[in-house]
Structure 1
């Protein structure tokens, strides 16, 4: 009997044929109401759940699925998956770290270029029949700071160092000996040495509000912030204040605290560029993501090690 996968992710439908071709039976539940109904109606047959970090899977949901064996999370972050509950049940968890790194890095660069060169306002002006000549900074030769030098951070660093001749610094949980970039011991120190600060670290308790008032002050009135990671890494109230008071030059944001709701105060500012959490979305990234999920599912149900396992806490 084929394994049944509950799919909570709303952005990968075009590539779900990959899993179906591997023999998996899929139950699609991309909305909260469909999710609750699917768990209630199909609890006895669900063997795997496909989710993403912000959607997660709660302890209560895990408890309601007696035959659940594996949780596959697309993307690097898994902050809303109850790892303790999974561990207690012996349920495996995998993620997709690095699979969409190129797409996210491209989007980070798009946000940075749009923000620093003020492309949205220039475009709007031309459409109104105006022809403003506004002086904006260049990216070439500037100082880039990256918070989180994983696969996405590395992809951004390479684009900036090789394509724009930027000097690159980073803050990470640990120093990397395999990169030519400068390590900064704290986020504040990183901001102090950056013209552009890009947030590329996973979400979760360990990274919550690493970017606060002190970091933004260190970034300064000519500094720009880009966040393509998780909104939880940035203190939104501090960021709003910094943007309103022009104590930083601007921000490019793809992630928000209560998606899809975006604070009205952000929408009214002319020194921000906003996108609807789409950095990791591209046909290439989506296919690679689903292919990795399929490989992890096949490995698990054939008794083989997962390709990208998440380390779980000890059962209690």
Structure 2
């Protein structure tokens, strides 16, 4: 990008593909107009909320992502956050290594995961993989999705479909968010939804920060509306260092590392190259995303 900025006049007609890592470079109308021979944009990860698909399509440019590469590691991350929050792993580590610790409290307790109810909001590829993992913990699995899964898929993981999200929120001990960020899912979880959850429940977000109303989450955690939260995503990222979420003990925040394994990043890069080669050669994109 630095080379392109310095030599726009010479390079703009040569560029046929954009390899977009972590939402960079930003793609807007001006940028698209400057690349008359652009054929394909391939973006790392599964989310494409940072791209205006209709705008890009109007320039005759195709878009691809890497959904399959991120499914397993992100599902692993969801379960890791669930377990860490339930068993208070971060707090426990701090106690164990603290120079002030003289003894371990006998009544320092976490929550049981085995047999608990997990509510999954968004039962796509990642959501289903989370359900597979939760089944191994003998969890009762509820899910809310735009479309109900096939009966055999539900039976394979013991998942029960909740047509109304409110029903899932009221029954779940753990609620995990795994939806795409769209105008419909922006602040999907707000004050009303948090108040529907059990006061003993934990909210886990592994999709996008704006799916949750952060001000409402701060209030809920401060006032015992829910017990805890564990999030891999916030808005913005990172949060301002004086943000109230950073001062709470009953939340775990990780730096958007759902797909951050060496294996998945390698596969993502391979997928991105495959999409680019297909696009510049006029072939169907393996992972095309349509507006």
TM > 0.5 fold call = yes
Equivalent runs, 1:214-225 vs 2, <5 Å = 214-225=192-203
Instruction: Please give the per-residue CA displacement for 1:96-155, whole angstroms capped at 9, x wherever unaligned.
Output: 113211111111111111111111111111112242231211100010011111111111
**1:222 touches 1:248 (CA, 8 Å); kept in 2?**
yes
Equivalent residue for 2:82, pick from 86, 105, 112: 112
Q: What is the RMSD of the two structures over their aligned residues, measured on CA atoms?
A: 2.0
Cα 1:286/1:53, change in 2 over 3 Å: closer
| 2:119 alignment partner in structure 1 | 145
CA contact under 8 A between 1:52 and 1:77: conserved in structure 2? no
Quote the offset at 1:52 in angstroms: 5.4
Larger CA deviation: 204-213 vs 145-154: 204-213
Does residue 289 of structure 1 match 2:257? no
2:171 — aligned with what? 193
What secondary structure sits across from 1:197 in the alignment? strand
1:243·1:249 contact (CA, 8 Å) conserved in 2? yes
CA contact (8 A) 1:199 1:226 kept: yes
Normalising by structure 2, report the TM-score.
0.89
Matched with 2:47 is: 77
C-alpha distance 227-40 of structure 1, shift in aligned 2 (>3 A): farther
Shift of 1:60: 2.8
Q: Do the aligned partners of residues 85 and 270 (structure 1) sit closer, same or farther apart at CA in structure 2, a change above 3 Å counting?
A: same
Q: In structure 2, what is the equivalent of residue 15 of structure 1?
A: none
Task: Tell me the distance in 1 between the aligned counterparts of 2:3 and 2:215.
Answer: 32
Answer yes or no: is the 8 Å Cα contact 1:51–1:57 preserved in 2: no
Q: Using the TM superposition, give the Cα deviation of residue 74 of structure 1 relative to its aligned residue in structure 2, in angstroms.
A: 1.6
Alignment partners' CA distance in 2, 1:35 and 1:265:
40
Please state whether the residue corresponding to 2:96 is helix, strand or coil.
helix
Q: Does 1:87 align with 2:57?
A: yes
1:194-245: per-residue Cα shift (whole Å, max 9, x none)? 1100111111223111111121111121000111100111111111110111
Q: Distance in 1 between matches of 2:118 and 2:167?
A: 13
User: Aligned pair 1:43/2:17, yes or no?
Assistant: no
Q: Is it true that 1:279 corresponds to 2:272 in the alignment?
A: no
Partner of 1:174: 147
Q: Which has the higher contact order (CA 8 A, sep 6+)?
A: 2
Could you say which residue in structure 1 is the equivalent of 2:92?
122
Deviation at 1:189, TM superposition (A): 2.1
- Of 283, 288, 291 in structure 2, the residue corresponding to residue 309 of structure 1 is 288
Kept after mapping to 2: 8 A contact 1:52/1:78: no
TM-score by length of 1: 0.83
Give the superposition deviation at 1:302.
Answer: 2.2
| Unpaired stretches in structure 2, ≥5 consecutive residues | none
| 1:154 and 2:132 matched | no
Asked whether the equivalents of residues 172 and 198 of structure 2 are also in contact (C-alpha less than 8 Å), the reply is: no
Q: Distance in 2 between matches of 1:223 and 1:35?
A: 50
1:62 aligns to 2:32 (yes or no): yes
Deviates more, 1:58-67 or 1:79-88: 58-67
Distance in 2 between residues matched to 1:39 and 1:194, nearest whole Å: 56
Structure-2 separation of matches of 1:269 and 1:112: 17
Equivalent residues of 1:75, 1:96 under 8 A apart: yes
Give the SS at the match of 2:289. coil
Say how many residue pairs are matched.
279
